[in-house]
Structure 1
Amino acid sequence: MSFTELDSIYMARAIELAKQGRFTTTPNPNVGCVLVKDGHIVGEGFHQLAGQGHAEVNALAVAGDNAKGATAYVTLEPCSHYGRTPPCAEGLKAAGVSKVIAAMVDPNPAVSGRGLQILADAGIDVASGLLEQQARDLNKGFLKRMETGLPFVTCKMACSLDGKTALNNGQSKWITGPQARQDVQAFRAQSCAILSGADTVISDNAKLNVRTEELPFAMPTSLPIRQPTRVIIDSQNRLTPDLALFSIESPVIIFTTQLDNQQQWPHFVKHEVVAANKNKVDLSAVLARLAELQFNHIWLEAGATLAGAFAQQDLIDEYIVYIAPKLIGDMGKSLLNFAEVTAMGDVTQLTFTDTQIIGDDIRLTAYKAKQATHTEDKE
């Protein structure tokens, strides 16, 4: 089916609405909906919180009786199953819309074409594929989990112009400027989990939370501030409850190879025992377990050894690197540590997808070359 310029304008509006839920909808996808009748928007909405009304429900509530005969532009195929909320496909059908255009089919096996089929069987015109790539970019984590059974992993790094993350004595505060650090807070806030290692938690006494006072924009006041779950790899049970990480009452998952029953942990701390790989926590098993727990997007913020292990095992989907206009020299600490590569044909090939100036620093975004795709600009 061919789409008009107006169709694209209304779907673009639905995508902008969907972005408003990117801090709060997990584990559900970000979805926006616009209802148009006689050339006018009569209702619009976006999914705000899991367990609450989906985008279509919110848009229909605004439109009221004007929904009858309207065209619905939805960034993701309307759901067809009963969960915590009724099926949106049934809601659109009951409202009497005449046409539904979805940006993409939902890869969730519980939906995957069934929502559009319900509508088509009711005599409603249906189409999909309008601004599909932009719609996919809204939900990289959700889509990867549905399509592969693993979450989407973004590895954040910060370094000097010569690729060093710290002085040889360990000093690293601050390589990047305040604007870059605020930018990191915004990315943290959009993630389901912040993943790091025991080394980082112990050496930096890191809290790994979203510092809301540093966000570079105001969060919607009507939506709660969600702290991502902090996920720590601790193969040797080196963490102790007195660390700053545990001074903040928000969920922590510690992955280890065997439980240590000697410590008394806060109630919000959960331990997960996974298989060992050469006496270390199996990183693939960690990601598989996080997917089972419905984590879509993982923000990896770790030291050179753990980040290097994820990279070498090809477990990173996206790299976000902040480069500061500073020179540290040969004695500085490296960005990633992993085994030597001896042939150029074996190096990891990345594709840059975005470059932005953030304060005095540069933010580079790169994907593995085999899955390079458009990356939307962030506020």
Structure 2
Amino acid sequence: MWDLWMRRALALAALAEGRTSPNPLVGAVVLNQEGRLVGEGFHCRAGEPHAEVGALAQAGDAAHGGTLVVTLEPCCHHGRTPPCSEAVLRAGIARVVVALEDPDPRVAGGGINQLRQAGVEVISGVLREEARQQNRAFLHRVRTGRSYGILKWAMGLDGRTALPNGASQWISGSPARDWVHQLRSGMDAVIVGGGTVRADDPLLTSRGRRSPEPLRVVLSRGLDLPASAQLWNTAVAPTLVVHGPDADPQRLPSGPEGLGLSACEPLPLMHHLAERSCNQVLWECGPELAAAAIRQGCVQEVVAVVAPKLMGGLAARTPLGELGFTAMDQVLSGTLQPPRPIGEDWLLSLRLEG
């Protein structure tokens, strides 16, 4: 019985994909004493009412003596909004069904304990794995202090991402490119290196699928960047240019925000983005930066669009640079998600971490 309603709560939570950072995705439903649906809600974005509050408000007096089904443990601390646990108690809820305990140190079981001490029945762990997967980026950031990284590339069936002369537009078809725009809309930031800016002059937006657009990040040790580029137009989307300690800040392009790091590497960048409230970021970079991000543990998931094309060429580019492996027992492996078609292309997704 609870599985059915928890799936509804998970579907509600998914409606805010990419918009709640640094908060998690949360959905909730309220059932009256007879088990009928009387309220539902989801957390839309940070600073706005939490899912439980919205669902309880919709239910009104019908919530008294009823059941709250929620995908994440109700919070018990004062943040931008009051504690949800207190709202649950004020509504007279008799039972709370929870999918996942909140790992945030300010909660960490405290919400469940508060409810139980007040006499509310609490059932936890319903569809726990589904809820964990839905909030894997939030959980990763809380656990590690780093944003969850997804590395994306498009390639031909022979593993090439460009011809020997560098030509790469377009490997994938229009449906796959539309899918990339949708993918970006769920991200808090999109990262490229200076080489990608010089070679491709990308825009890196969701093409209006999200407002505001994700933060665009350029990682450049020496700020050897073109004076004009689409990324410098911050009226379209915000841009952050990250550089190393030896770069001359006077070379920063006009428009974007600049940030100097003690080491212009993926790992300190991911810590900075986590502090900047980014749960999930997308790497759309060249092979050397992609390899560095993997080596430094900054990629938890790889998504590859595979086109039915053979590009050939011994000197043609591949998605990854050197990872330093010398034996097959050293290579990275993960969980391959079921492949799915996108137009004439195929999408492969490999999770290196749950």
* TM-score after normalising by structure 1: 0.89
SS of the aligned residue for 1:230 comes to strand
Aligned partners of 1:361 and 1:71: how far apart in 2? 45
Deviations along 1:81-111, one digit per CA (max 9) or x if unpaired, are 1111111110011010001111010000011
Quick one: which of 9, 32, 35 aligns to 1:14?
9
Verify the 8 A CA contact 1:195 1:300 in the aligned structure 2.
Answer: yes
1:1-379 mapped onto 2 (5 Å cutoff): 6-37=1-32, 38-212=34-208, 225-240=211-226, 242-249=228-235, 250-258=237-245, 260-263=248-251, 265-266=253-254, 269-276=256-263, 281-330=264-313, 331-368=315-352, 371=353, 373=354
Q: Any conservation in 2 of the 1:354–1:366 contact (CA below 8 Å)?
A: no
Q: Secondary structure at the match of 1:52?
A: coil
SS of the equivalent of 2:341 reads strand
Deviates more, 1:283-292 or 1:255-264: 255-264
How far apart, in 1, do the equivalents of 2:254 and 2:120 lie? 53
What is the CA-CA distance between 1:241 and the residue it aligns to? 5.0
Alignment CA distance shift 1:285-1:174 (3 Å): same
Identity of aligned residues (%): 38
Q: Please state whether the residue corresponding to 2:141 is helix, strand or coil.
A: helix
Q: What is the distance in 2 between the residues matched to 1:73 and 1:241?
A: 53
Question: 2:267 & 2:48 partners in 1: Cα distance?
Answer: 32
Runs of 5+ consecutive residues of structure 2 not aligned to the other structure: none
Contact 1:312 1:338 in 2 (8 A): no
1:339, CA displacement in angstroms? Answer: 4.6
Partners of 2:73 and 2:200 in 1: how far apart?
A: 44
Alpha-carbon distance in 2 for matches of 1:266, 1:73: 50
Contact between 1:14 and 1:74, CA under 8 Å: does it hold in 2? Answer: yes
TM-score using structure 2 length = 0.95
CA distance in 1, matches of 2:48, 2:323: 47
- In structure 2, distance between residues paired with 1:29 and 1:118: 21
> Counterparts of 1:253 and 1:187 in 2: how far apart (Å)?
20
- CA distance in 1 between counterparts of 2:214 and 2:112 reads 33
Letter in 1 for 2:248: D
Quote the residue 1:219 is aligned against.
Answer: none
Query: Does the 8 A contact of 2:192 with 2:219 survive in 1?
Result: yes
Letter in 1 for 2:9: A
Shift of 1:263: 4.6
- How many residue pairs get aligned? The number is 350
Deviation per CA, 1:154-178: give whole Å up to 9, x if none.
1001100000001111111100001
Q: CA deviation at 1:21?
A: 0.8
Check 1:174–1:264 CA distance in 2 against 1; reply closer, same or farther (3 A cut): closer
| Whole-angstrom CA distance in 2 between matches of 1:327 and 1:139 | 37
Q: Distance in 1 between matches of 2:323 and 2:68?
A: 52
User: CA offsets, 1:303-329, max 9 Å, x none?
Assistant: 111112212333211000000000001
Shift of 1:115: 0.9
d(CA) in 1 for partners of 2:338, 2:121: 37
CA displacement, residues 206-245 of structure 1 (integer Å, 9 cap, x when unaligned): 1111113xx6xxxxxxxx7231111111111123452111
SS in 2 for 1:200: helix
* Alpha-carbon shift at residue 265 of structure 1 (Å): 5.0
Q: In the alignment, residue 170 of structure 1 is paired with which amino acid? A: G
2: CA distance between counterparts of 1:339 and 1:88? 46
Residues 235 and 263 of structure 1, relative CA distance in 2, 3 Å threshold: closer
Give the secondary-structure state (helix, strand or coil) at the position aligned to 2:30. strand
Separation (CA, whole Å) in 2 of partners of 1:102 and 1:207: 41
2:53 and 2:109 mapped to 1: Cα distance? 19
Deviations, residues 118-152 of structure 1 (Å, cap 9, x unaligned): 11111111121100111111211111011111111
Opposite residue 346 of structure 1, the aligned amino acid is Q
Contact 2:223 2:251 in 1 (8 A): no
Opposite residue 24 of structure 1, the aligned amino acid is: R
Contact 2:112 2:122 in 1 (8 A): yes
* Structure 1 counterpart SS, 2:137: helix
